[in-house]
Amino acid sequence: DQQVKQNSPSLSVQEGRISILNCDYTNSMFDYFLWYKKYPAEGPTFLISISSIKDKNEDGRFTVFLNKSAKHLSLHIVPSQPGDSAVYFCAASLDFSSGSARQLTFGSGTQLTVLP
């Protein structure tokens, strides 16, 4: 049972427009969420994160929104650039208990293609 779901395996957007990548989760105990970007033949690169006490976090062209009641988060990229073409993974983190390690649970990824 996937606890973190990215239901769109791919997304195409025109350069300069907004890209919106979506992610849903089922475990209400997740308290930290991250987005990673992955180019072919490279490991994922951390992009942006958000704590469950917030509903929005912004970093340049990237904004992550969290809707805890809907167990949904989204990543907005504005404006989209061809270099943003990559696979985007959302991840959720669960703090099991004091002194215990956090564990990241990843979605299956969304391939974003930004068309020039």
Partner 1 sequence: KAGVTQTPRYLIKTRGQQVTLSCSPISGHRSVSWYQQTPGQGLQFLFEYFSETQRNKGNFPGRFSGRQFSNSRSEMNVSTLELGDSALYLCASSLLPNTDTQYFGPGTRLTVL
Site residues (vs partner 1, CB under 8 A): 2, 4, 6, 9, 32, 34, 36, 41-46, 49, 89, 91, 93, 95-96, 100-109
With tokens 């669960």, the residue in question is 94
CB of 53 to partner 1, least distance (A): 14
Query: Per the structure block, which two tokens stand in for 54?
Result: 């917030």
Cβ distance to partner 1 smaller for residue 15 or 106: 106
Cβ distance to partner 1 smaller for residue 37 or 71: 37
Cβ distance to partner 1 smaller for residue 14 or 103: 103
How would you class 56 by CB atoms within 10 Å of its CB: exposed for 0-12, middle for 13-18, buried for 19 or more?
exposed
Say whether 82 sits in a helix, a strand or coil. Answer: helix
Among left, alpha and beta (phi > 0; psi -120 to 50; other), residue 95 is beta
CB of 39 to partner 1, least distance (A): 10
